[in-house]
Amino acid sequence: MTTISRTSPRLIVPAPDRASAFYQDALGAEQVFRAPPGDDGRPSVVDHRIGGTSFRVSPAVSSWGWLSPSDLGGSAVLLEIEVDDPDAVGERMIAHGADAVVPIENRPYGKRSGRVRDPFGHLWIITGELR
């Protein structure tokens, strides 16, 4: 069996540079690579790192089957991040254009969590320790 060394989600968005700026500002993501712009002026991929994890942002290209949440009528994936202060992260995301979907509150399963939709339609569960 082949060993998988890493899995990196790739978020499909209409505007990769705008999305990259949002993730840097709202989540503190570090941009570690940006491909040169293609014929349409958009980079084909922008790599980011948050803590010990990474994710990529790429433009929606329907002919490749790369569809954004708005193309699909909603997000098909939930991205979950565990943070020290879920309230602060949620507030920062909302201040940068995200929408609250489920309030960040203490949950009966022993975590403080909630859900936001980023400006590009991706859903994020923000979770941390109870307050």
Using CA atoms, how far apart are residues 52 and 113, in angstroms rounded to an integer? 21
> Length of the chain in residues, anyone?
131
10 Å CB burial of residue 78 (0-12, 13-18, 19+) is: exposed
- Reference 61, options 47, 74, 45; nearest CA is 45
CATH numbers and ranges of domains, the chain: 10-128 (3.10.180.10)
pLDDT in tens, the chain (131 residues): 889 888 899 999 999 999 999 999 999 999 999 999 999 999 999 999 998 899 999 999 999 999 999 999 999 999 999 999 999 999 999 999 999 999 999 999 999 999 999 999 999 999 999 98
Tell me the three state secondary structure of residue 93.
helix
pTM of the model: 0.93
Q: Is 110 left (phi over 0), alpha (psi -120 to 50) or beta?
A: left
